[in-house]
Each structure stands twice: as structure tokens, then as C-alpha cells.
Structure 1
Amino acid sequence: MSFEIGDAVPAFTLTDTEGVEHMMPAPGADAPLATVVILMCNHCPFVQAWNPRLAKVAREYAPRGVRFLSINSNDATRFPADSHERMVQFARDQSWPMPYLHDESQSVARALDAQVTPHIFILDADHTLVWTGAPDDDPGDDSEEADAQWLREALESVTAGCKPAVEQRPLRGCSVKWLP
């Protein structure tokens, strides 16, 4: 299955580290201007390096009407660092600024055609995919090294009511750890 620009996000409900259910698409009149879905995990060094920048982007754009959801879909039996318990610990230790959802069945990762962690998807107000890719061009841990801020550029377009001008970017990260 392929999830491409212009496709509507499949409906899903997942539970976060606090036990709260989150639905997609977001129900009701309070639907967000856009939703950023970040497929991530705890163990991947690429995710660990990008996490401070992703948290900063979430803190900056949430007040502008952008909803952020992070999702861990990795097989925790083979990668215990990605277990629900470790997700809870991560969210608390990092004061993670967005819900951290557990996709234990991997149904959401498969529906989104997730490739690596992190893999970012931006959905517009109609829950249609408008951009996907990596946050920036620096998978290291020094944000000063990033020359291109792809996620920020895409969010600037979306919050201005436009389609992102920045192209979909190549993904760098750890492979999704699929169930056998």
C-alpha cells in the first residue's frame, strides 16, 4: 500500500502514554488547521538526535493551530527500548510536548506506508497528506548544522493556507521494526 500526497489519512484511534485515546481525523468543530504525525521510537539514534528540534517545532506551531501526534509502531518484543513502559518514561523524562501514541499492531504505520523513524507526515485541515519527509537536512544532534528546515518550511506554508512549496524530502533514519 502506498500513502501519497493528496491521499486522505485513514481513520485510526490510538492510546497515548497517559491512557488517553486520540482519534484521526480529529472529531468536532475544533479540528486543527493541520496535523503533524511523527512516526518515531525510543531507541533510534536519528530520532534521539532530532527529538529536541521536533519538540521545539511542536511548541512553536501548536499555538498556531497545528496538532502534533507522535507514534511508536516498532516491535517492542525485539526492541524492548520501544516498549510502552519505556515510551511512558521517555514522555515524562523529556516533558514531551505532544501525545506519544502506541501503535502496537502497526496498523497505522502500515496504512501510512512508514519507512523509517523518524518519518513525518503533515495533513491539512481536510486530513489530506500535503507533505512527508525528514525534519531538516541534518540527522545529527546539532541544529546549527541544518541548512534546510524542511518541516518548518512546510508548516509555514500550511499555516498560511497554502500547499507546501518545499518538496517531499528523502528519509534518513532507522527502519521501522516490523512484527514478524
Structure 2
Amino acid sequence: MATPTFDLADIKRRMQGAVNSLKHDLGSLRTGRASPTLLDPIQVEAYGAAMPMAQVATISVPEPRLLSVAVWDRGMVSAVEKAIRESDLGLNPMTEGQTIRLRIPEMNEQRRKEMVKVAHKYAEEARVAVRHVRRDGLDLLKKLEKDGAISQDDEKRQADQVQKVTDQHIAEVDQTLAAKEKEIMQV
């Protein structure tokens, strides 16, 4: 079995993956503004299987508070409409031929605060993921040092680098959360 080696680039990549996942999750959170990613979590029952909305329709934003869903197959319009109604997004689809229009209603203060709580939960999950990557990196460094593959000074120096990278990614998570929170609370 090959001896494991320490790769800071891999740790950075894994931490960035956690941040990217957070950005994707936050993108699907409803704010007062229309966003095509709002419909990402919705699965449509199509051709005997559950498919993502993006695979059966084109989603566009013609106005700041309006989503337009152009369904490709005329027979799928009712299934798409049903999927939107049954989602917990609180949207009311209006069908015009093969196009479904979704007016994004204003969110009240209570709903905004709920969304902020969800955003905080997503951010905490991202922070935990980043910390797990840090722990994995530090554990590997300790193992390498214990096995004599690297010196104690190298282990300390690389552990400091891992901590620095961790701090950068946690800061990025916090910045992303702050921006999303501001967007949600904007009236």
C-alpha cells in the first residue's frame, strides 16, 4: 500500500467544494427576488421518472418578481404545474399554453426571518464540512510525523498552512452568508 502524502491543494479543493455547495444551497433559498435556481429542488414526474425541472423546461426571469417556465413538451405542462404547486415554495403557477408564469410574492417579516435561519443552518453545515477537511488534513500530518515521513517542524508548518486555509474558507462562508442574509432581508 502506498504511503499517504500531504497535499494542501487537495485540502483547498475539498474546502472550496464545501463553500460551493453552500452557494448552491443558498441559491435555491427563496428571497423576494425571482431566481431560476429557486426551482432547482423541484422534481417533475416525467416519463415515469422524477426529473429535475431544468430537464423538462427552460426557466427564465423576465421581470424581477416573475419566473417564466417554458415547458418543452405540451403533455408535461400539467405535471410541471403540479410539481410547482406541491413544492413548499408557496408559489402559485399561472399557465398560458406551454408557458407557466410564477409571480414571486413579497415575503413578510416572519418568512424572511425563517429564511435567514435556514441560511444560517446551511452556513453552519458548510463550516462543519470545512472543519472536517481541516481535521482530516491535520490527522494525516500527525500520522506522517509519527511515521517519520516528515519532521516535527514540517508538520507544524504545514498544520499552520492548513489552519490558514481553513480560516480563509470559513471567512468566505461568513461573507456568503452575510450577502445572502442582506438579500433576504431586503424589502
Higher helix share: 2
Question: Looking at CA atoms only, which structure, 1 or 2, has the larger radius of gyration?
Answer: 2
Q: TM-score, normalised to structure 2's length?
A: 0.23
Higher strand share: 1
Answer 1 or 2: higher relative contact order, Cα 8 Å, separation at least 6.
1
